[in-house]
Structure 1
Amino acid sequence: MNLKKIVVIGSSNTDMVIKSEKLPAPGETVLGGTFLMNPGGKGANQAVAAARLGGRVTFICKTGDDLFARRAEEGYRQEGIDTAFMLCNAEVPSGVALITVDAKGENCIAVAPGANNTLLPADIEQARSEIESADLVIMQLEIPLETVICAARIAHESGVKVLLNPAPASALPEELLRMVDVLIPNRGEASALTNIEVTDWETAERAARVLHGYGVGSVLITLGAYGALCFDGSECTHIAPFKVKTVDTTAAGDTFCGALCVALAEERDLVQAARFASLVASISVTRLGAQNSVPYRREIDDIRVAQL
């Protein structure tokens, strides 16, 4: 099988995770819990998810010159990810995220971006040929916006499909949105981009149509336990959720995005790709951690066989 190339451009972090009974309120100390140190970052999570699901992945990112970077690079290589454009800035540390997860699987996250903030358009120009030869490119917003715009322009002008996960939520120029083939916000991000409070299917559909009006090709709004809403520019499709017991929602959205990339690279239509991504993400929330929670393709195939 001739695998299409997926280029992921984004953040590489190390996640410091504490699993506790509850999330601390401001000024509160919560004792007890389990500590884990895992590789993370939205870009890295999506790259790992796509690679584990069978995608041919190149990851473009920037780290510091430290232990976190070396551990991350070794991990990416073990996943089969091309790290030729994993760049280094020795003057700043690698990105770090502090994550607390409660007994219900909800989380709060604080991120120190470090070297992620120094991935600049000049770095993207170094990877121009890699982007131009891709079949699709996916990005997030844990790197500078000017960098995202630069990469989107290169991909768009080369006829490469552009996917954007607008996380964390941020105002986006229409210049960028007009170059996006598939926008993948969650309900909060869709609300922030449209000023429509997304609370149900009706408001999600309204938000999707507004985003399409900004110039986005297709919109896929993830709605957590309610599934997802897919708008292809003409009609909306509701993607039903898979019923599971949630342990940790960290990186569920990133897993969804990585899985969506793989399904699109396998030439499924957007609705089929979203259903595949929803299944993969539903497995990830039953496990603790970011990249640790991402399933492998064989696990997905085993589930499908069991359902036959």
Structure 2
Amino acid sequence: MYDVITIGAATQDVFLQSKGFHLLHSPRLKRTCECFPLGEKINVERIDFATGGGATNAAATFCNLGFKTTAVAKVGYDSSGDAVREDLRARRIPISWVARAKKGTTGYSAILLTAHGDRTALIHRGVSAQIGAGDIPWKNLSARWIFVTSLAGNMKLLKRLFTAACARGIRIAFNPGMQELRRGLADMRAHCGAAHVLFLNRQEASVLAGGVRDIRRLRRALHPHFQNAVVVTDGKKGAWYWDEARFLFARALRVNVVNSTGAGDAFGSGFISGILRWRDPVRALQLATLNAAGTIQRMGAKRGLLTRMPSRKELQHVNVTRL
């Protein structure tokens, strides 16, 4: 039996960092955009390759922190698929449930980074978007937790997966993508309301709640639909946690941000690692914050992850307050 089975995307990522990428706020679009001149050749000061995807990123955290882990994902018969499988194998994460599609290519992301680490990701989901019921090891689905990331909006598969997990006493952590969130609150509740912990960033939470931004109003809007635990992250500010009895805020650490790709995966998997270890959301928030802080200081989603459980003294560097 595994401690955690992660389910979701597996990708090859390339990081392109340039002083020629700039941020510009557009009053017309009402958002900040990453811009570069059309038609020009732009120098790239740094280029890095790494594997990514929610399933493999989360599995790396769980494995690093001593939990028995495997990943369910899908790659193609190509060099990117080879890279994903080799990276997992090097981390001693079993790859028997990383399926290889006969047609199609491994998911690929090009991440355009400004000099300050702000980024835009160009994503080709490839065969990661094709995970279906036939790729899930139903007979061998035995774990304390499953950590589910985006399944490309396949709500029917999510419902079946959550039902199977609940029937076997497996706890569920869910970090949805925009393809799931755009289905709306009612659909999310119907298919995914059984999640024991739901992870969202603040923008995603706002989308799900119909545009609400204030965190207390977000809690009031979402809690009736997801009555277990909800975690909402907000980048440099920190993260909120609530359940039936508690409302907590963990302040983010001030660190030099190199790249924020994978921060959400690091936070979510760090949090569940804390729950597995201590069954305490306060210490889980502290562990999650440390794990995410390490990730954003390195290029790639896995290189800065914690490699051991932090001490109590190290955990206390993260301030958690009750609201």
Give the structure-1-normalised TM-score.
Answer: 0.89
**Alignment pair present for 1:141 and 2:150:** yes
Q: Name the CA distance, whole Å, in 1 between partners of 2:44 and 2:79.
A: 27
**Alignment pair present for 1:222 and 2:222:** no
Greater mean deviation of Cα atoms: 185-194 or 143-152: 143-152
More strand by proportion, 1 or 2? 2
> Where in structure 1 do 4 or more consecutive aligned residues deviate above 4 Å?
none
SS at match of 2:135: helix
**Alignment pair present for 1:35 and 2:47:** yes
2:171 corresponds to which residue?
161
RMSD value over aligned CA atoms?
Answer: 2.3
**Alignment pair present for 1:188 and 2:188:** no
SS at match of 2:122: strand
Greater mean deviation of Cα atoms: 258-267 or 27-36: 27-36
Aligned-residue identity in percent? 22
The amino acid of 1:130's aligned partner reads: N
Query: 1:11–1:143: 8 Å Cα contact kept in structure 2?
Result: no
Summarize the alignment of residues 1-308 of structure 1 with structure 2, pairs less than 5 Å apart: 5-21=3-19, 22-23=21-22, 24-25=34-35, 28=38, 29=40, 30-124=42-136, 127-131=137-141, 133-145=142-154, 146-168=156-178, 170-172=181-183, 173=187, 174-198=189-213, 203-297=214-308, 300-301=310-311, 304=314
How far did residue 39 of structure 1 move? 0.5
| Cα 1:74/1:302, change in 2 over 3 Å | farther
The amino acid of 1:52's aligned partner reads: N
The amino acid of 2:120's aligned partner reads: C
Q: Name the CA distance, whole Å, in 1 between partners of 2:140 and 2:284.
A: 24
User: Where do 5+ consecutive residues of structure 1 fail to align?
Assistant: none
| Cα 1:271/1:129, change in 2 over 3 Å | farther
Q: Name the CA distance, whole Å, in 1 between partners of 2:81 and 2:312.
A: 34
User: Where do 5+ consecutive residues of structure 2 fail to align?
Assistant: 23-33, 318-323
Q: Name the CA distance, whole Å, in 1 between partners of 2:297 and 2:55.
A: 21
Give the structure-2-normalised TM-score.
Answer: 0.85
Q: Name the CA distance, whole Å, in 2 between partners of 1:213 and 1:47.
A: 31
Aligned length: 297
The amino acid of 1:129's aligned partner reads: K
| Cα 1:177/1:233, change in 2 over 3 Å | farther
The amino acid of 2:48's aligned partner reads: L
Query: 1:209–1:231: 8 Å Cα contact kept in structure 2?
Result: no
Query: 1:9–1:61: 8 Å Cα contact kept in structure 2?
Result: yes
How far did residue 216 of structure 1 move? 4.0
